[in-house]
Amino acid sequence: MKIGNIKIDFPVLLAPMAGFTDYPFRVLCKRMGAGLVYSEFVSADGIIRENQRTIEMIHFNEEERPIGIQIFGNDPDTMKKAASFIDKKFNPDIIDINYGCPVPKVTKKGGGSAALKDLCLMDEITHAVIEAVPNIPVTVKMRAGWDNDSLIIPNAGERLQNIGIKAITLHPRTTKQRYKGKANWDLIKVLKQNVSIPVIGNGDIYCVDDIKRMYDYTGCDAVMIARAAQGNPWIFREAKKFFNNENYSNSPGLIEIAEMCIDHFNILINTRGQCIGMNLMRKHLSNYLKGFPGAAQYRQKLVTAATFEIMKNELADLKKFATVTTK
């Protein structure tokens, strides 16, 4: 699959997720086989003000390529300036526009999926970003509409394609649904039938079997993984086995889980320092150890570890426990 001039070798992608898809998590998913990774969504306002925290969220390593930087905002000129800044300072492979975030603190300011209520504004923002970065493919991640009475698929997809968008990721829920109910995969199928650019399916993917079902049912060009990758970067490796007609598993072994926890911890400490790295690691540990048999005692010790040495030692004990249990 190609998005503009960017070749994507493997059509299972890591979604942008606020609070999760920072450098350490992205690089682990890339090493597991993700065909394309995205940054956390970043505010166009924060970018043009050169807010330090916002700029830090954009930084990436060459190992992560191809990588997309996702931006959100409600003003075409601000979005244009932000895209140009990212292009000149960071040169990512793709810039993605967020028309999908349903969180009220974003939509109340006109960002994210609020644009779906005003397709003319969506057109203006999209055109402005594309104009700002003529040498970088611009993509969109969007929802199906604001509510069930205002679905915009396939109309919005056709409009975006005509403006120059190079790929569309569709999460086929409405803004009002947020993450409740079921994602309507029929809308992915309809979008695919009405545009010629790549369509990336997203929503209700929990395991490799779901990836297969989405491909078969919708005919999409790629599948984007979000929450299913939290605590489970292996989903990309196992999906690749599926595509290669090899035997695959929907869950990793205990030793792999322990080793991934240690790898993730070390990358966080090396890139963010001990204090911040430990705090960030706590939420990941809860995800990694969910369902880990007999590991409740370790999970409690790890998420409450008061010092770097304690957390490091508890992770080493976790690996010993996994090794003994697996024998």
pLDDT in tens, 16-75: 999 899 999 999 999 999 999 999 999 999 999 999 999 999 999 999 999 999 999 999
8 A C-beta contact, residue 289 and residue 312: no
What does the alpha-carbon distance between residue 100 and residue 48 come to, in Å, rounded to a whole number? 22
Question: Which residues does residue 221 pair with via DSSP β-bridges, in sequence order?
Answer: none
Domains of the chain (ranges, CATH numbers): 2-243 (3.20.20.70), 254-326 (1.10.1200)
Q: What is the pLDDT of residue 289?
A: 87
Q: What gap in Å lies between CA 152 and CA 250, rounded to an integer?
A: 34
At 303 the pLDDT is: 84
pLDDT at 290: 83
Find how far residue 191's CA is from the centre of its chain.
Answer: 21
pLDDT tens string, the chain, 327 residues long: the values are 999 999 999 999 999 999 899 999 999 999 999 999 999 999 999 999 999 999 999 999 999 999 999 999 999 999 999 999 999 999 999 999 999 888 888 998 888 889 999 999 999 999 999 999 999 999 999 999 998 889 999 999 999 999 999 999 999 999 899 889 899 999 999 999 999 999 999 999 999 999 999 999 999 999 999 999 999 999 999 999 999 999 988 778 888 999 999 999 999 999 999 999 999 999 898 889 887 766 677 788 888 899 999 999 999 988 988 888 776
**Position 217, amino acid:** Y
- The catalytic residue positions are 101
Question: In whole angstroms, how far apart are CA 217 and each of 103, 192, 210, 222, 282?
Answer: 29, 11, 10, 12, 37
Per DSSP, the residues of 146-209 read SSTTSB-TTHHHHHHHHHT---EEEE-S-TTTTT-S---HHHHHHHHHH-SS-EEEESS--SHH
Which pLDDT belongs to residue 327? 64
**C-alpha distance from residue 284 to each of 157, 166, 175 (Å):** 35, 33, 27
Q: Could you tell me the pTM of the whole model?
A: 0.93
